[in-house]
A and B are shown apart, each in its own frame.
Chain A
Amino acid sequence: MLQVRGLAYDLPDGRPLVEGMDLDLPRGRNLLLAGAVGTGRGHLLKVLAGTERPRAGEVKIAGIPVWPGEGALGLAGRVRMGFAFPAGGLLSNLSLVDNVALPLRFLGLPRAEVARRVGEALARLGLESVADLRPHAVSAAARKHANLARVLALDPELILLDGPLEGLDATDRDLALGLISGWALDSGRTLLLAMEGRDLPPGPEFQTLDLHAPHSPSEPS
C-alpha cells in the first residue's frame, strides 16, 4: 500500500528528520510513527500523505506516485484516504456536520447516503449535540473527534492519524481508542498512526518507526 524509497525530509528549522528512509507497508498492515510531540512525526505523516513535500526520495501509495508528483492531489478519486489532524484541519466556515459531509459530497454520493454515513459517524463519536456548530464554537476534544468522524464517514482504505489521543479525557480517549483498534484490526485498511508508543491500543500488530532512533522500521510488535 505504501512504498517509500530514499526519503529525505528537513524540519522547518533545518534539522534533518529522515535521510534515505526506505519503507514497505503492505495493504492491511499498520505503522506506528513513535515519538513525542515536537519530534516531527506529524511532518513525516504529512509527507507520507502527500501534503508536505520531501527534500528527496519517492513515496508511492497503492502504486501511484505521490512524491515526486503532485502529492495527495494525484490520489483523488483513486485511493480513498482519511487523515485526522491533531489540531485544526476542519474548515472553519463550515459546521461539524458539513465538515464531515464535504468529502462525501465531493465523491458524488447520493444525498441520503451522505446523510446516513455522516449521522452514524457523528453519533459514534458523540457529536450529535454540537453537529451544527462551527469548529471554533466547540471544545478541542470535539474538534479531534470531528476529525475522526470525517475519517469514519469516508470509510477510507488508508488512514493516517496524528496524535489522536492527545488532550482527551478518559471517556473521550476510550471512545477514540475503540475506533482506532477497530481500524487497526481491519485487514482491508492500512493504518498509519503518529503518537507515543505507550499509548498504542492493545491487540493489533504495528510495525514501528521510532523517531528518536536511526530510521528503519522494526518488525511488527
Chain B
Amino acid sequence: MAFLARIGAPVRGFLEFLGDQAHLVWRTLRSGLALRSGQLAVVGGQTKLQIRFTGLDAGALVVGTALLLGAVTLIQAFSQLSGLGAENYIGTLMVLIILRELGPLLTAVLVIGRSATAIAAELGTMQLNGEVDALAAHGVDPYRYLLLPRWAGVLVAVFALVVCFDAAALGGGFLVARLKYGITWGFFMGSVRQALSNLDFTATLLKVFFFSGAITFHACHFGLRVQRSQTEVPQAVTRTVVSALVAVFVIDGLLAACFYF
C-alpha cells in the first residue's frame, strides 16, 4: 500500500498540475473572448510591453546565437564530410538541423531563460504585495490584465524570434559555405529552398504556438502560486525553468513524431 501511495502521489501531483494549466488556459481564453473595446488600449499596452521585453530586447542575443550556430553547423559538417560532396547537402543540412529543429527549440530555451523567469518572478512578487488581489477587488480581471497580454506578447515575440533565428543561422551558414567553397548566394538559397517543404512551415508554426503557450502558462502557474514568503519567488523561477524546458522538449518530440516519423 505504501509503495502504491509513493507511486500515486507524483502521478496525482502531475495530473493536478495539468488541471491547473488547463484551467489557466481556459480562463485566459474566456477573458480574451469577453474583452470589451474600452479595455483594448490597456491590454494592448501590456501586450506591447511584453513583445518589447521578450522579442526586441532578446533580438541581438538570438541573432548572435543563431549566426554562430549556423556557421558552426556547416564547419562541423564540412570537416566530417569533406571529399564526399558536402556542398551538395548544404540545403538539406541547414533545413534538417536548423530550420526544423534547433531554430524553434533554441529560441524557446532562450525565451525561457530570459522571459519565463521574469514573468514568474514578477507575478510571484505581485502576489506577495497583494497586487493581484487588488486588481480583482477593483474589477480588473487578472486573467485579462496579466495573463492574456503575456500570452499574446510571448506568442508574437517567439514567432518573430524564430524567423530572426532562422534567417541569422542561414546567414552564418552561408558565410562559411562562401569562404570554404566559394558557394554563391543563389546556389545556397536554391539548395535550402529545395530541401524545405510546406510541412516544415506548418510544423514550425505549430511549435511557435505550443512553445509560447507552454512557456507563458508554466511561468504564470508557478508565479501565481507564490503565497506567503519572498523565498518562494526563486523557487517559483527554478520550477518554471525546469518545467517549461521539459514541456518544450516533450512538445518538440511529439510534433516531430507526428510530422516526420
The chain A residues found within 8 Å of chain B, CB to CB, are 12, 46, 49-52, 71-73, 75-77, 80-83, 85, 87-92, 102-103, 105-109, 150, 154, 160
Alpha-carbon distance between A85 and B132 when the two chains are bound, in angstroms: 12
Given A12-B228, A106-B39, A108-B36, residue A50 in contact with residue B140 (CB < 8 A): no
Q: Assuming A77-B139, A106-B42, what are 16 further A-B pairs, CB within 8 angstroms?
A: A50-B136, A81-B137, A81-B139, A82-B137, A83-B137, A89-B134, A90-B131, A92-B125, A92-B129, A92-B131, A103-B140, A105-B39, A106-B39, A108-B37, A108-B39, A154-B139
B6 interface contact, C-beta 8 A:
no
0/1 interface trace, chain B 133-172, chain A, CB 8 Å (1 if under):
1111111111101000000000000000000000000000
Asked if B131 and A91 make an inter-chain contact with CB atoms under 8 angstroms apart, the answer reads yes
Chain B, interface size category, equals 20 to 34
Residues of B contacting A88 in the complex (Cβ-Cβ under 8 angstroms):
129-131, 134
Complex-state Cα separation, A108 to B135, whole angstroms: 15
B residues in contact with A105, CB < 8 Å: 38-39, 41-42
**Contact (A90, B38) CB under 8 Å given A75-B139, A81-B139, A106-B140:** no
CA of A148 to CA of B129, assembled, Å: 17
Tell me whether B38 and A107 are in contact (CB under 8 A): yes
Question: How far apart sit A148 and B142, CA to CA, in the bound complex (Å)?
Answer: 21
In whole angstroms, what is the CA distance A76 to B142 when docked? Answer: 11
**Interfacial chain B residues near A154, Cβ < 8 Å:** 138-139
Q: Which residues of the partner chain B approach A51 to less than 8 Å between Cβ atoms?
A: 133, 136-137
Docked CA distance A71–B130 (Å):
15
CB distance from B65 to the nearest CB of A (A): 29
User: With A83-B134, A85-B134, A91-B134 in contact, is A106–B129 under 8 Å at CB?
Assistant: no
Can you sample 27 A-B contacts with CB below 8 Å?
A12-B228, A46-B133, A72-B133, A75-B139, A76-B140, A77-B139, A81-B138, A83-B134, A85-B130, A88-B129, A89-B129, A89-B130, A89-B131, A89-B134, A90-B131, A91-B135, A92-B125, A102-B138, A102-B140, A103-B138, A103-B140, A105-B39, A105-B41, A108-B37, A108-B38, A108-B39, A160-B137
B129–A82 touching, CB < 8 Å: no
CA A49 to CA B142, docked complex, whole Å: 15
Whether B38 contacts A109 by the Cβ 8 Å rule is yes
- Contacts of A91 on B, CB cut-off 8 Å? 126, 131, 134-135
Q: Chain B's nearest CB lies how many Å from the CB of A169?
A: 24
B29-71: CB near A (< 8 Å → 1, else 0) gives: 0000000111101100000000000000000000000000000
Chain B: minimal CB distance from A137 (Å): 15
Partner of A89, one of B133, B141, B228: B133
CA distance A46 to B126 in the complex (A): 16
CB of A76 within 8 A of CB of B139, answer yes
A80: chain B residues at CB < 8 Å are: 139
Given A76-B139, A82-B138, A83-B138, A106 and B133 touching (CB < 8 A)? no
| Chain A residues with CB below 8 A from B135, complex form | 91, 102
Inter-chain CA distance A88–B125, complex, in Å, is 11
Q: Do the beta carbons of A73 and B136 come within 8 Å of each other? A: yes
Interchain CB contact (< 8 A) of B141 among A50, A76, A83: A76
Specify which chain A residues have a CB less than 8 angstroms from the CB of B143 in the assembled complex: 73
User: Residue on B with the closest CB to A109?
Assistant: B38
- Distance (whole angstroms) from the CB of B148 to the closest CB of chain A: 12
Contacts of B141 in A (CB 8 A): 73, 76, 106
Q: Does the CB pair A103–B131 fall under 8 Å?
A: no
A49 to chain B, nearest CB (A): 5
